[in-house]
Every structure is written in C-alpha cells, then in structure tokens.
Chain A
Amino acid sequence: MSAASQSPRISASGLRMAALLLFIVIYTAYSAGPFVWVASMSLRTTTEIAANPYALPWPWHFDKFASAWLDSNYDTYFFNSVSIVLSAVALLTIIGGMAAHCFARYRFRFKGVVYFLIFSTIIFPPQVTVIGLFQIMVDYGLYNSRIGLVLVYVSIQLPVTIYILEAFFARIPKDLFEAARIDGYSEWAIFWKISLPVALPAISTTVILNTILLWNEFLYAVVLITEDDKRTLPLGVLRFLGDQLEDVGMIATGLMIAIVPVVLIYVFFSERLIQGMTAGAVK
C-alpha cells in the first residue's frame, strides 16, 4: 500500500470518527444535560436563577434541602413512599416467589390457563383496571389507605416478578429437589431452604426492579390517595409544584430529593437493575 492510496482512506475514516464523536457529544448533552441543570439549580436560590438560569451554583445553598424537607411535608411523603414500597416489595418477593416456584416445579391441571391469565395482564392498559379498582377499593374500605395501595402495587408487579423468578427457578437442577426430598424436607422447606437461597441473584433483581418502578408509580397513587398525609413522593412533588409555582429554585431542590435515592440505587446495583429492566426484552 502506497501512501497516496492510504491518505484518502484515513481522512474518510477521520471524518467518520468526527461525525461519530459529534453524535455522541450531542446525544450525551441531550441525555445528561437536564440532570446537570436541575442539580445546579437545586443549589441556587430563585433570585440567582432568575438572574441567570444557567450559571454555576456558587455559593452552594445546601440549606435549601433542609427547608424543602422540613417546610413542605417532604418527610411525610418520603416516609410514606419508603414504607409502602418496602412492604409491597417484601410481599411481592414472597408471594411471587411462591407462585414462581409452583409454576417451575409442579405440573397440574389448568397450569397453562392460570399462567396465561396472569401474564395477559402485562398488556392490559391500566385504564381498564383503574376505574373498577377505584370502586372496589371504596367498597373494601381501602380507599385512601396505605395498606390498600400496597396491595394494589403487589398486584400490578406480580406478573413481571413471577416471570423473572420462574425463569430462574426452572433452571435449578431437579436433582437438588430430589435429594432434599429424600432427606425428608417438606415441600415448604424445599421452597424456603433451597429454591429461595439458590435463586438469590434473581430475587435481588426483582427486588431492585420493583423498588424503582413502584417508587416512581403515579397513576394508581393519584387515583387511590387524596389525603395529604398519605401521599407518596411523586404525589408530594406534584403538590409541591402547585404550592411553589414561581419558586423554581425550591422545586429544583424538591426534584433532587426525589432523584437522589434512585440514582443511589442505580450506582450500587446497576448490573442487577439493568438485568431486571431488560429481563422481558431479550429473546
């Protein structure tokens, strides 16, 4: 290869490289820019933001976090979200684990029908449940109740949880169960002492996935909860927006309080989280 024949190729690939880099830079700005902006605003006062919405935060007003937390019922919303999400996730893990174990290990009549019924709900538009659910919750006395919301959350995440766990349980070698049975384990002990511990990776995947999705859930919460002291964080943030309409700096702080826990979970459990979110998508 002579230098003459090589130089056009280099410039062509150089051009391609430049286009690629430009694409990456633009997309990254589009993707991450909004976070950088809201993070910087969360540390600035509204007066500073009004003067220039895009300046760097200086000095850092960390005290805004304290006042957003204390003056706007954020502690209540946060506590509600934490307790509702944790209870729902705990129930989901046990109930979903039991059902998944059952699907993976036993053969029984109507198994296909039950399986189909539960999984067909994945494509249901939520509108088709939400009105009936509202009436039923009023009938049950579970309207405006945190326990009611927990049960609803269990029901909406149940199909995905069973789906992920069942796929994992089905791969546990049958010999393990046979050995346990010969050792005199009861069916329940087999589930509790063998299936669950062996499936710990899959379980942690569903736990993290459910935590994030329910932490962000809005539609069912807005329909089923109207009392202020029972609101979850997304409802609280929206209410906060209504109260502070012009106070952009304060709302930015409120948004950051909602963003940070999710980002922390992502930082610590990114692989598990990605596994959970993509579980249904890879064929």
Chain B
Amino acid sequence: MTNSSPPAKKEKDHANPLGAITTFLLPALLIYAAFTALPVLRTFYNSTHLIVPNRPAEWVGFTHYVELWTDRIFWKAVWNTLTWAAVAPILEVTIAILLALCLYAKVPFSRVLRVAWFTPVLMSYVVVGILWMWIYNYEWGALNTMLRGLGLESWAQPWLGHPDTALASLIAVTTWMWTGFNMVVILAAMSSLPSEVLEAAELDNCGWFSKLWFVILPLIRPTLLNLIVLSFIGKMKVFDLVWVTTQGNPLWATETVSTYVYKRAFQWSTFDLGYPSTIAVVWFFIVLSGVLGLTFLFRQKDKLEY
C-alpha cells in the first residue's frame, strides 16, 4: 500500500474491469433475480389478491390480512413454531457445550464419538422422519420398548399421536439432529482458545466449573450467540420433518407456519394462492423482527458487559 503509485493505477483498474465485473456478476444476478427476487415480489403481490386458477388475479386489498388476524390455526402454528424456535436452540447449545467439553478433555475414542454425534445432521429429514416415527411407534417403537423394559409401562404412549407430547417429541428429533453440529462448532472455538488463559486459570486453582463458567464460556460467547441465532432461523423454517411425520396432527399440535402455508397453497382445495401468500408475508416479518431482535439483544448485552 504505497502512496506514490495508486492514482494512475486506480484509474486503469476502474476503466478496464467494468466489463469484467459485469461478466462475473451477471449469471449470479440473473439467477437471483429470476428465482429469488421475483418469486418474493410475486408472493408480496399475491398477498393482496385473490389468485384462482384460470382467472385473472383479483385485487382484494387487505382482506386476507384481516382474515389472518382471526385465523386460529395460523396463531396456533405461530405459537408452535415459536416454541420450537425458543426451546430447540437452548437444548442444542447446552448439550453441545457438555459434549464439546467431553471431547475437549480428550476422553477415549474421541474420533469415533465425534462421528457418531455429528452424523445425524447429514441425513435427509425424510429419512429422519420415518426413522423416528418408528422409534415413537406405540406398539413396537424403541422408546416404548425401552420404557416397558424399565418397568415404566404406564409412561408408554403414542408419542406423536397425543397432542400433549407430539410437539415435544418432534423437538427431541431436531435436537438429535443438530446437537452434534453445534458440538463440532463449539469444539473448534474451544480448541482455538489461547492456552495461556487456561493455564492461568489452572494456576489460580480454579475448579473445573468456574473455569468453564468464568473463562471458557465468556471467551467463546460470540460463537455461542451465533449458533443460537442460526438454530433459531432454522427452526422458524421447519417443514420437512413435520410433513413426513405428523403433517401438523394431532389437533394442530405440531402445525408449523411452513406446513400451514403448504397446506393452504397446495393441499386444501381452496384454489387460492393469495391467502397462503399473506401468511408467508406476515411470517417473513415475524422472522425478520425475531432475528433483528436477537441480534440487538445480544449486542446490547455485550455493551453492558464491557
């Protein structure tokens, strides 16, 4: 970065690459415009129209939005999804910290354990969904078989078939899938900590818990917050797992916003794409404010602490 040469060079740099910039960026921009931007705009447009096949779209103003306000299934779906998005990140990150500590402390068979814990995240939700439907099966599922084996016969139940347990059972599945992923990220963050800090804590005769709580966790805080936000976003999108296992049943107990949009758009014979688009738009703003809120919250806290 010398100060003598830049002016002349910069001019040249600017003159030449404009063509190159366009060439390099154009394919990506075209794909983005055609398959991301346009569909989003179309969905926004839909939300104020009645879109019925073989008829021109009919402007209905904010009728859909008003209808949505009193749509009890929608609010149930919002509640379920928010519950999922609030509970799952905490479970995943907490368990992942414990697992990462185990590997960090170099327990035997670390490599094998890492593979075993990480693998679930690589599976397709279709495979995972079918597998867990079997595990939760009332008669021969692994969970009930285990409970009966432990003499807890009365605890055995159709886990996905009962409104009180269905959502929690599905949350256990996403936790099963994503904890290992969080663990790997946390382990990477722990491994990159400067060893002097940990040695200093060692010298101060810190117990392992205070070492974790006062030294390690504050240092990997940015990573943890990031993982929480990522997990939150992921759970706000959840569709595949519900669709494969319960399709929102029983009694809307596992209905998420994604599955409800899909049902209204492509399954129920209402033949209107306008209303589901309205749900999508409203949901878009809820997710956006959720992400912004979390980011703001975490920033705020950081400021207070330092």
Contact = CB atoms under 8 A, between A and B. Distances in A.
Interface of A: 20-21, 23-24, 27-28, 30-35, 37-38, 53-54, 94-96, 98-99, 101-102, 106, 108, 114, 117-118, 121-136, 151-152, 154-156, 158, 162, 187-188, 191, 212, 215-219, 222-223, 233-235, 237-238, 241, 248, 251, 255, 258-259, 262-263, 266, 270, 273-274, 277-278, 280-283
Contact of A127 (B17, B38, B240, B261): B261
Contact of B230 (A128, A237, A281): A281
Contacts of A53: 140, 142, 145
Contact of B283 (A117, A127, A235): A127
B40 A98 contact: no
A128 B284 contact: yes
B7 interface: no
Contact of B38 (A35, A128, A132, A219): A132
Interface in B8-55: 16-21, 23-25, 27-29, 31-32, 34-43, 45-46, 51
B107 interface: yes
B126 A238 contact: yes
A142 to B, nearest CB: 10
B33 to A, nearest CB: 9
A129 B43 contact: yes
Contact of B258 (A127, A187, A234, A263): A127
The 7 closest A-B pairs by CB, nearest first: A132-B42, A132-B39, A216-B124, A155-B35, A187-B20, A99-B28, A102-B24
Interface of A is mostly: helix
A238 B122 contact: no
B126 A117 contact: no
Nearest to B98: A23
Interface string B128-169: 001110110000101001000000000000000000000000
A251 B265 contact: no
B130 A37 contact: no
A236 B5 CA distance: 62
B24 A274 contact: no
Interface string B202-228: 000000000000000000001100110
B88 interface: no
Given A108-B21, A117-B32, A125 B287 contact: yes
Nearest to A174: B1
Contact of B40 (A24, A108, A124): A124
Contact of B46 (A31, A123, A124, A132): A132
Contacts of A280: 230
Nearest to B41: A132
A131 B43 CA distance: 6
Nearest to B189: A282
A43 to B, nearest CB: 16
Given A132-B45, A187-B20, 16 more contacts: A24-B102, A98-B28, A99-B27, A102-B24, A117-B37, A118-B32, A125-B284, A130-B39, A133-B35, A135-B39, A155-B36, A187-B24, A223-B266, A258-B126, A266-B122, A281-B185
B184 interface: yes
Interface of B: 16-21, 23-25, 27-29, 31-32, 34-43, 45-46, 51, 95, 98-99, 102, 107, 113, 115-127, 130-132, 134-135, 140, 142, 145, 176, 179-181, 184-185, 188-189, 222-223, 226-227, 230, 233, 236-237, 239-240, 243-244, 257-258, 261-262, 265-266, 273, 276-277, 279-281, 283-284, 287-288, 291
B20 to A, nearest CB: 4
A215 B122 CA distance: 10
B279 A258 contact: no
Contact of B122 (A30, A124, A251, A263): A263
A96 B28 contact: yes
A162 B36 CA distance: 15
Contact of A263 (B46, B119, B291): B119
Given A34-B132, A218-B126, A126 B239 contact: yes
B31 A219 contact: no
A283 B287 contact: no
A20 B115 contact: no
7 contacts: A24-B113, A31-B117, A99-B27, A127-B279, A156-B36, A187-B17, A235-B126
A218 B237 contact: no
A266 B277 contact: no
A234 B129 CA distance: 11
A143 B217 CA distance: 49
B226 A270 contact: no
